[in-house]
Amino acid sequence: MLRFFTAGESHGKGIFAYLEGVPANFEIDFDFINSELARRQRGYGRGGRMKIERDKVEFLSGVRLGKTLGSPILMAVWNRDYKNWEEIMKPEKGELPKEKVVSRPRPGHADLPGVLKYGFDDVRNVLERSSARETAGRVAAGALCKDILRRLGIEIGSFVLSIGSVKVPREMIEGKELKELFKLAEESEVRIPVKDKEVEERFKEEIDWARKKGESLGGTFLVFATGIPVGLGSHTQWDKRLDGRIAQGIMSIQAIKGVEIGLGFKGAELPGSKVHDEIFYNSEKGFYRLTNRAGGIEGGITNGEPIIVKAAMKPIPTLYRPLRSVDIRTKEPFEASVERSDVCAVPAAAVVGEAMVAITLLGALLERYPADDFKRLRELFP
């Protein structure tokens, strides 16, 4: 069984990712993991933090001389900023100056429910962990999973479909290969899968508009996985259904408020004949489909078609334009505004989405092809 957790606070010593169940003898590609961390930090509309952090992974356990040992893997992404926060964030005993206590919860964050739940009088005790800085751990672990999948022929990618009210025109992507769209998205500052200056400009203008107005924006993105064998996940129990597992992985990303597999919500508007993928057979291909509206999963089981997941991200909750809130100490109203924040992080969230799909898929794959050793996994894999 593949187990995955993260630990770490946004301004603590670092963000840590724990992976257990990764087969032994897999050669780590350190550069690949670091390049994935860099992909998470890119994107038009990011805030000041991204300029401070240049994330790099360090393995603390589970890897020896460049290869996995089959033992628990602990990865660290150190927070370079920690030295400036040590007095406030150190684990050792200490006195916090009164003015450093955060008593103003920001709407749209875990701040208020978090302090009420845990009985804190300092919002920082919540916001440090609820921050999306945590996604550096997801991307580090996801990169390792992705690399393993890649060497089995499974490719995972993503692209942005919309930011705020601006959408990628459907006719520009319809009928195109997923890998081709992904390649274009990698070259775009807003991760859109088209090479068109005018469309790219429309996206950037939307973000510039939001920045100028002190606003923030959300959007939608698509994550895909190709080269998927038939039979990952199972219809036999609710928590084995792969669509459900992928949805949890994606929905657990900070600010994600909607997940669709295949046609998703659109399918609810259409008659059945326009939703289900008819089945064909010939001796060369075996069973095959001409459409993939199901997004590669039927009954919680992969059907061999590419997995297609879409996600909706809400606008970043910290705005330059203040939102009304109430001080938890004085109970006085105030207007919450920011120090520094992203205006839009949809392109980065898409990269985090890839990581969550990679972790979920590797977990499901190791259930179907259990292997302690990567060589064995290669033999078992069809």
Ligand X SMILES: Cc1cc2nc3c(=O)[nH]c(=O)nc-3n(C[C@H](O)[C@H](O)[C@H](O)COP(=O)(O)O)c2cc1C
Residues found near ligand X in the complex (CB under 6 A): 47, 108-110, 130-132, 135, 253-255, 314, 316-318, 341-342, 345, 348-349, 352
Spatial separation of the C-alpha atoms in residues 178 and 242, rounded to whole Å: 21
Mapped onto helix, strand or coil, the DSSP state of residue 16 is strand
Closest to ligand X by CB, 73 vs 110, is 110
How many Å separate Cα 5 from the centre of its chain? 14
Mapped onto helix, strand or coil, the DSSP state of residue 19 is strand
State the minimum distance, in angstroms, from the CB of residue 119 to ligand X. 20
State the minimum distance, in angstroms, from the CB of residue 169 to ligand X. 25
Spatial separation of the C-alpha atoms in residues 100 and 87, rounded to whole Å: 10
Residues 6+ positions from 110 with CB-CB distance below 8 Å: 126, 127, 130
Closest to ligand X by CB, 242 vs 350, is 350
Task: Please say whether the dihedral angle defined by the alpha carbons of residues 356, 362, 368 and 372, taken in this order, is positive or negative.
Answer: negative
State the minimum distance, in angstroms, from the CB of residue 131 to ligand X. 6
Closest to ligand X by CB, 303 vs 318, is 318
Closest to ligand X by CB, 68 vs 254, is 254
Closest to ligand X by CB, 47 vs 363, is 47
State the minimum distance, in angstroms, from the CB of residue 109 to ligand X. 5
Residues 6+ positions from 31 with CB-CB distance below 8 Å: none
CB closest to ligand X, residue no: 318
Closest to ligand X by CB, 173 vs 348, is 348
State the minimum distance, in angstroms, from the CB of residue 235 to ligand X. 29
State the minimum distance, in angstroms, from the CB of residue 351 to ligand X. 8
Whether residue 18 contacts residue 6, with contact meaning beta carbons closer than 8 Å, is answered with: yes
What is the helix (H) or strand (E) element at residue 245, kind and residue range? helix 242-251
Task: Output b/e per residue, 34-71; b: 16+ Cβ within 10 A.
Answer: bebbebbbebbbbbebbeebebebebeebbeeeebebe
Closest to ligand X by CB, 109 vs 124, is 109
State the minimum distance, in angstroms, from the CB of residue 102 to ligand X. 14
